[in-house]
Chain A
Amino acid sequence: MLFYFEERESREPIGVIVLEGCTVELCESESEEFAFAVKFDCIKARVYKMAAENQAAMESWVKALSRASFDYMRLVVKELERQLEEVQEEARSSQAKNKMKKQVQAAASVQPATFSLQNAAITGPVQEGVSSRENGVSWSKPTSVPNGVSEGCVWEGDCSGKGDGVRPPPVPPRRKTNGGSLESPVSPGTGCFSKLHDWYGKEVAELRIEWLQSQ
């Protein structure tokens, strides 16, 4: 919402412009430099014209106004939610794959050993996973100002980077070092150890069967 006040020190606004559904554009004005306008799609809607004091201020306002909508916020939240899930998923699967494949030959008593190694593993695979994903995914910045910024900003995410099956080779486990770049050594999934234990146990059981069948 854009509240407008008579003066800088005024306690109460004269009014408010609800910005949902609006578009923000630069506009030509004889009297004002650095002018921009807030427009709506509905019939007979007023056009709200404003002018800033300088180019930088104008650009800053236009950006802020075009990102003010609920939809924009929702987009960003959904995107971060998705990213977090991806990161958590990668951390879980990388750890399991690295540790289980090495341990399966000595299939007995793998489970106790896995837990202590999983702390070290996270510093490796997660980093790799993140950088390869960043290469595969490209995000265009919000549409540039001169063309008339549209509300809600279009995201052009090329998500195919994740799905093309090219994964980095597993990194050999490193001991957790102090001052490692990741602050927390704990895997996101360790909230409940028995759950984690079962999860690892499942992969071990599957790999054990594979190995036995190949004998």
Chain B
Amino acid sequence: MRFNEKELVFLSRQPSERAAELGMRGPKKGDVVKRRQVKLIVNFLFYFRIDEDEPIGALLLEQCRVEKEDNHAFSIVFLDEAERKYLFECDSQEQCVEWIDAIVKASYEFMRKNLIHYRTEIHRLTGKDPLEQYGISDETRFQVNSGLPPLPPPPT
């Protein structure tokens, strides 16, 4: 699938939420841990070879699960059919916990859920829909019942 690479590379140069050198292992069998510069920007996790300007790749942090692993490590598992798992090794427990927290909160889906929660609460307490004044109360993504569509069934 094509994507707008130049703009993504440009995005990878913007100030990040969090950046560090971590050990990273890819999802394929036989992948080993390599040192990478990892940068969290909006809901992307960019990764670079050390001291290189252009990212090797990026992980879009949606529809994924973040899990604590042993030895100051965490993994990101993508919830498609294959359940691809990326491992990240940190320097300390503290750093590990901070990264997990940051990644969980980085997703668009997380923000969307928060927004719906605040909207519902404010409406409950005041009887008014806070999104009305911005003219966005009808947007699909802000409705209580709209979740992401279910993942497609695995290919037969």
Contact = CB atoms under 8 A, between A and B. Distances in A.
A17 B11 CA distance: 13
Interface string B1-21: 111101111110010000000
Contacts of A44: 6
A80 B119 contact: yes
B111 interface: yes
A209 B121 CA distance: 36
B23 interface: no
A70 interface: yes
B6 A42 contact: yes
A214 interface: no
A120 B19 CA distance: 51
Interface residues of B, number: 35
Contact of B118 (A18, A41, A80, A184): A80
A136 interface: no
B130 interface: yes
Contacts of A76: 115, 131, 134, 136
A141 B7 CA distance: 28
A20 interface: yes
A182 to B, nearest CB: 6
Given A41-B10, A183-B124, A15 B133 contact: no
Interface stretch (A81-89, A98-106, A165-173): A81-89
B119 A45 contact: no
A84 B118 contact: yes
B11 A15 contact: no
A73 B108 contact: yes
Nearest to B126: A130
A21 to B, nearest CB: 6
Interface residues of A, number: 45
A19 to B, nearest CB: 9
A130 B10 contact: no
B134 A141 contact: yes
B65 interface: no
A181 B126 CA distance: 9
B6 A70 contact: no
A40 B7 contact: yes
A81 B121 CA distance: 10
Interface of B: 1-4, 6-11, 14, 42-43, 108, 111-112, 114-115, 118-119, 121-122, 124-128, 130-131, 133-136, 139, 152
- Shortest beta-carbon contacts, A-B, top 3: A15-B2, A42-B10, A80-B118
20 contacts: A16-B4, A18-B4, A18-B8, A20-B42, A45-B6, A71-B42, A73-B112, A76-B115, A76-B131, A80-B130, A83-B130, A84-B118, A84-B125, A91-B125, A130-B126, A139-B133, A141-B135, A142-B134, A142-B135, A183-B124
